[in-house]
Amino acid sequence: MESALTLESLPLFPLGTVLFPGGVLPLRIFEVRYLDMIGKCHRHGAPFGVVALTRGSEVQRAPQDGPTGEAYADEGFYPVGTLATITALNKPQPGLMEIRCVGTQRFTVTRQEKLRHGLWIGDVQQMSADPAAAVPPDLEPVSRALGNLIDQLRQRGVPERELPMQAPFQLQDCGWVANRWCELLGLPLEMQQRLMALDNPLVRLELVGDILQRQGIGI
């Protein structure tokens, strides 16, 4: 059995959202600690890690009693995250980057360190990708409802690059369908995190189907 790939000193970006494999993530970058990190990742074609916050804020804020070092507001994040690859970068003005990323591989943080200027790095071990799993007949309505939503967005004239999911649309794959619904449903962060970290894509899709039924979404 092939061992999981380990990445050392991976830049980590704690956010108030969960990035799923195959998901699209637009970001506006203006903090100094991330401008340099994102610039380096883009130049070298390297990924960074997105981890969901358990405490703290996306934007670093200094306390009233002092602006330096570890006095900054404490941040905590879940140990399971997703690698993000930058697919587009724009600099509309000095000190501002607008990027578009796609989620690739999930990982587990095995060691983390906060550097002097507030940037997190970590050693991570990549998790296995979701195995290919065909959508079973009893969950076809969940896949069909997602396909209908994509068709509706296209009919409204939404450009492909602005769709909340990117092609190819894998509507017969349990993991892909479940992940896209998780992004669309506005679920609580903790629930999104639990679903993303699940190893079994069929179970993830079954849980998504239950959520859709409870929310009264026609499937």
Mean pLDDT of the chain: 90
d(C-alpha 37, C-alpha 119), whole Å: 8
State the Cα–Cα distance between residues 197 and 49, nearest whole angstrom: 15
- For residue 81, how many other CB atoms are within 10 A of its CB? 31
Q: Which amino acid is at 195?
A: L
| Assigned CATH for 137-214 | 1.10.4060.10
Reply yes or no on whether the pLDDT at 71 is more than 50: no
* pLDDT tens digit sequence for 107-154: 999 999 999 888 999 999 999 999 999 999 999 999 999 999 999 999
Closest to 197 measured CA to CA, from 213, 172, 179 = 179
**pLDDT above 60 (res 70):** no
3-state secondary structure of 57: coil
Identify the DSSP state of 165: B
Q: Per DSSP, what are the bridge partners of residue 89?
A: 99
Q: What is the pLDDT of residues 3-45, one digit of tens each?
A: 467 889 999 999 999 999 999 999 999 998 899 999 999 999 9
CB 180 within 8 A of CB 190: no
Q: Which 3 state secondary structure label does DSSP give 28?
A: strand
In the DSSP assignment, the letter for residue 174 is H
pLDDT higher than threshold 60 for residue 64: no
144-171 mean pLDDT:
93
Domain spans of the chain, in order of start? 6-126, 137-214
Q: What angle do CA 126, 105, 151 make, to 5 degrees?
A: 160
Beta bridge partners of 219: none
Do the beta carbons of residue 60 and residue 33 sit within 8 Å? yes
Does domain 6-126 fall into CATH 3.40.50.1820? no
In this prediction, residue 57 carries a pLDDT of: 73
Confidence at residue 4, expressed as pLDDT on a 0 to 100 scale: 60
> What is the rounded distance in angstroms from the CA atom of residue 2 to the CA atom of residue 4?
7
